[in-house]
Amino acid sequence: MPNTRILDFNTSMGPDGAWEPRRHLTPAGVERAWPAASVRYGGSDVHELYQVDADGNIYQAETGNTDAGSAINITSATKRFALGAVSMLTQLYVRLEGVTDTVNAVVRCGGSEYGEKSQTYLISLSGTAGEDRELRQRLHRTLIGRWVQVELSGNVYNRPAIREIQLWYVPMRSGRVSA
């Protein structure tokens, strides 16, 4: 059975870099299988990596903004951040380079008597390429908890470069309530 997952080395992840899992989907949403890969030599100083899927299609890896003409499906989540007290989340702020894509932002919180809550927001990233865009999203008043996590997901064509994510919150109570 051919491989469907790839590990890429991301040199922009700190001084030591990091290995990141990657997968490619067909337009039907099925993972592509990769039985072969090769580096092209000759004719230029550039040594591009080419991959062949199980159907015999040849793809040049790491080029352009799409996966063989299909949007790239992304999902990225922060760790769970402790808020230090039972708090109500009020606003999500995202700063990034303007692109023409739209993503879903899921804000989750929990760890209190209010239970685990989440809300999904559709966020347009539209802006001028090369210029930073600042997005502010008011959050539902039901997002109350001791920890928070943000997940961004969607199908993108333009590689949105997220530079900063912030959450505003209001502490409601710092002491624990015993049952």
Q: Residue 139: pLDDT above 70? A: yes
User: Which pLDDT does position 28 carry in this prediction?
Assistant: 80
d(CA 118, CA 109): 6
Single-letter amino acid code for the residue at 92 = L
Give the pTM: 0.64
Q: Residue 141: pLDDT above 80? A: yes
DSSP 30: P
> 155 or 159, which is more confident?
155
User: Which pLDDT does position 179 carry in this prediction?
Assistant: 46
CATH 2.170.270.10 fits 75-173, yes or no: no
> 86 or 76, which is more confident?
86
> 152 or 63, which is more confident?
152
Q: Residue 90: pLDDT above 90? A: yes
Nearest to 134, CA basis, from 142, 144, 124: 124
Q: What's the mean pLDDT when you consider all of the chain?
A: 80
d(CA 171, CA 121): 23
Angstrom distances, CA of residue 53 to CA of 32, 91, 155: 6, 43, 21
User: Which pLDDT does position 32 carry in this prediction?
Assistant: 76
Angstrom distances, CA of residue 86 to CA of 93, 143, 174: 20, 10, 6
Helix and strand tally (H, E) in the chain?
Answer: 0, 12
Going from N- to C-terminal start, the domains of the chain cover: 5-70, 75-173
Other Cβ atoms closer than 10 A to 51: 18
pLDDT-above-70 percentage for the chain = 78
